[in-house]
């Protein structure tokens, strides 16, 4: 049995109370590990370690900090298969998909480490003679990082690399569903030369470990990826003490198929957007909006792509289980309520059981149609392999339906018209949009985030992530020509 501990001041420690909880493997439903159940005392110790270590870390040059982060990325690359094995076990995804996720974390590490050579500010003239102005970045202090379980090693990388590059120390609250992955990252960070206390990992549940982290006045910035409901609570709690808050929240992302689209490619991409990673992406394409003129043809192609999906945890499978029993039951309940309200479940909607599935948290790829735009299943992020299919008359109706969601994270449109594509880009309310592409798949060097209920406007990663974890300082320098 694996025992997963906290990492505080460079040492792996159990919870101060000695309490633990069990983490179940999504693929089997069996106990995978026993995890430290941390509370306020553990969080206090982690924040104290971070606050003590941070000034010396900030005093190093940003280029030196970048070199250490580059070394972490190199060690991730060296141990790619071992890290991916932990990710696969904790999430239930295939080894192939876990390796791909790990590769994304590695690339993010290399990109952010490179910003140590490009930690740019600006120089500006002044209206006063013999004076110029400049802007420089300053660290915030202690960063509270709260991550989700859907892509655990990538989520750690998205937050830890830019937070540390900017000169902060961090306390990372691990997801209770993927507790070991951040610990593996912390071990590699220590091997790379990251000083003790600069990256601390606290295990446990949100109310017991996350809440004390968000409340603590020593935590200067809180970065959270997760549900909109929890994000609102974090914003309210941290906002009362005027802490900086970065929220990357949910999505109910539209993928529009026009009557001039390549329908075969659109259907293949729609299935990928909706079902890959078991639909556990904030950027999943969970609302498929199709022009009436091609609806029946697209529907047929989509069902063919969906029917070809293989569900399981092996490399031969397209996607695996959802993360836990509670999430699975939430999804099944949402589908049942939609049916009761008159919706049609075209395919899926049931728990998968039998050989290879018993005990695991599996649901087949699910498509629901005949649903209203404002029905629960159309508006609520389910975070599973469930998509709604909508018929519209044309572009204006498609755009209105796409924008009717309370979210605004990502979107996509399939069309051969440059005019339709560009108008959609201009009019869609979303932080990211693709023309003839999926709703997901944004790269490490581009900013990612959303509008409305999808976030607070900050962006991770890209160079824009540095704005989350640093403050700008304006500096004036005056010289005296007579003293030359």
Under a CB-based contact definition with an 8 Å cutoff, are residues 213 and 170 in contact?
no
Under a CB-based contact definition with an 8 Å cutoff, are residues 467 and 455 in contact?
no
Decide if 2-249+455-473 and 254-435 have a common fold.
no
According to CATH, the topology of domain 254-435 is Aldehyde Dehydrogenase; Chain A, domain 2 (3.40.309)
DSSP class of residue 209 equals I
pLDDT along the chain (484 residues), means of 10: 94 98 98 98 98 98 98 98 98 98 98 95 96 97 97 97 98 98 98 98 97 98 96 96 96 98 98 97 97 98 97 97 98 97 96 93 98 94 97 98 97 98 98 97 93 94 96 97 94
CA–CA separation, 482 vs 79, rounded Å?
A: 60
381 is catalytic: no
Question: What tokens appear for 148 in the block?
Answer: 């989700």
Cβ burial, residue 386 (10 Å; 0-12/13-18/19+): buried
Residue of 101, 180, 208, 248 with catalytic role: 248
Closest C-alpha to 58, from 141, 122, 116, 121: 141
282 is catalytic: yes
Number of neighbouring beta carbons within 10 Å of residue 397: 15
pLDDT at 1: 74
End-to-end CA distance of the chain: 72
Q: Across 153-286, where does the E strand assignment appear?
A: 169-173, 199-202, 219-225, 244-248, 254-257
The vertex-302 CA angle with 301 and 303, nearest 5°, equals: 90
CA–CA separation, 153 vs 155, rounded Å?
A: 5
CA 307 to chain centre: 28
Pick the CATH number of 2-249+455-473 from 3.40.50.300, 1.20.1260.10, 3.40.605.10, 3.90.45.10: 3.40.605.10
CA–CA separation, 233 vs 356, rounded Å?
A: 39
pLDDT at 284: 97
Kindly list the distances between the CA atom of residue 429 and the CA atoms of 15, 285, 402, 438, in Å, as whole numbers in the listed order: 44, 15, 8, 16
Question: What tokens appear for 446 in the block?
Answer: 């581009």
Domain ranges (residues) in the chain: 2-249+455-473, 254-435
Residue of 282, 305, 379, 381 with catalytic role: 282
Q: Across 351-484, where does the E strand assignment appear?
A: 366-369, 386-392, 407-408, 410-414, 432-435, 451-452, 470-478
Closest C-alpha to 249, from 112, 388, 401, 146: 146
Question: What tokens appear for 433 in the block?
Answer: 């949009």
Question: What tokens appear for 461 in the block?
Answer: 């990663």
């Amino acid at each position: 049995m694996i025992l997963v501990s906290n990492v505080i001041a460079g040492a792996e420690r159990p919870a101060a109370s000695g309490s633990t909880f069990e983490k179940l493997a999504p693929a089997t439903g069996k106990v995978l590990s026993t995890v430290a159940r941390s509370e306020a005392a553990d969080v206090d110790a982690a924040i104290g370690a971070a606050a003590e270590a941070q000034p010396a870390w900030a005093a190093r040059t940003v280029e030196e900090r970048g070199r250490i982060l580059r070394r972490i990325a190199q060690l991730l690359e060296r141990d790619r298969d071992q890290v991916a094995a932990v990710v696969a076990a904790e999430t239930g995804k295939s080894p192939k998909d876990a390796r791909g996720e790990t590769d994304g974390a590695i690339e993010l590490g290399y990109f952010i480490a490179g910003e140590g050579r490009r930690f740019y500010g600006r120089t500006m003239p002044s209206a006063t003679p013999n004076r110029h102005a400049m802007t420089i970045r300053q660290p915030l202090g202690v960063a509270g990082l709260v991550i989700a379980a859907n892509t655990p090693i990538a989520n750690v990388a998205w937050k830890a690399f830019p937070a540390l590059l900017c000169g902060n120390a961090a306390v990372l609250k691990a997801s209770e569903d993927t507790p070991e992955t951040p610990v593996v990252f912390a071990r590699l960070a220590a091997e790379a030369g990251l000083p003790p206390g600069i990256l601390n990992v606290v295990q446990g549940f949100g109310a017991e470990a996350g809440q004390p982290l968000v409340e603590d006045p020593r935590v200067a910035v809180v970065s959270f990826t997760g549900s909109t409901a929890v994000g609102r609570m974090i914003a309210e709690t941290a906002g009362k003490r005027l802490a900086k808050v970065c929220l990357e929240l949910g999505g109910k992302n539209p993928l529009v198929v026009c009557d001039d689209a390549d329908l075969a490619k659109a259907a293949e991409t729609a299935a990928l957007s909706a079902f890959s990673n078991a639909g556990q992406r904030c950027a999943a394409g969970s609302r498929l909006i199709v022009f009436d003129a091609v609806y029946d043809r697209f529907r047929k192609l989509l069902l063919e792509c969906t029917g070809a999906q293989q569900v399981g945890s092996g490399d031969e499978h397209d996607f695996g289980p959802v993360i836990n029993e509670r999430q699975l039951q939430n999804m099944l309940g949402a589908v049942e309520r939609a049916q009761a309200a008159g919706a049609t479940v075209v395919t899926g909607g049931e728990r998968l059981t039998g050989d290879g599935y018993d005990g695991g948290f599996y649901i087949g790829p699910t498509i629901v149609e005949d649903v209203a735009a404002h029905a629960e299943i159309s508006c609520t992020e389910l975070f599973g392999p469930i998509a709604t299919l909508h018929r519209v008359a044309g572009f204006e109706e498609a755009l209105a339906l796409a924008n009717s969601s309370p979210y605004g994270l990502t979107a996509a449109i399939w069309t051969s018209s440059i005019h339709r594509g560009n108008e959609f880009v201009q009019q869609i309310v979303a932080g990211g949009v693709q023309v003839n592409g999926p709703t997901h798949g944004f790269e490490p060097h581009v900013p990612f985030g959303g509008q409305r209920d999808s976030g607070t406007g900050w962006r991770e990663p890209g160079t824009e992530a540095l704005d989350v974890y640093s403050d700008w300082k304006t500096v004036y320098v005056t010289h005296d020509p007579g003293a030359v």
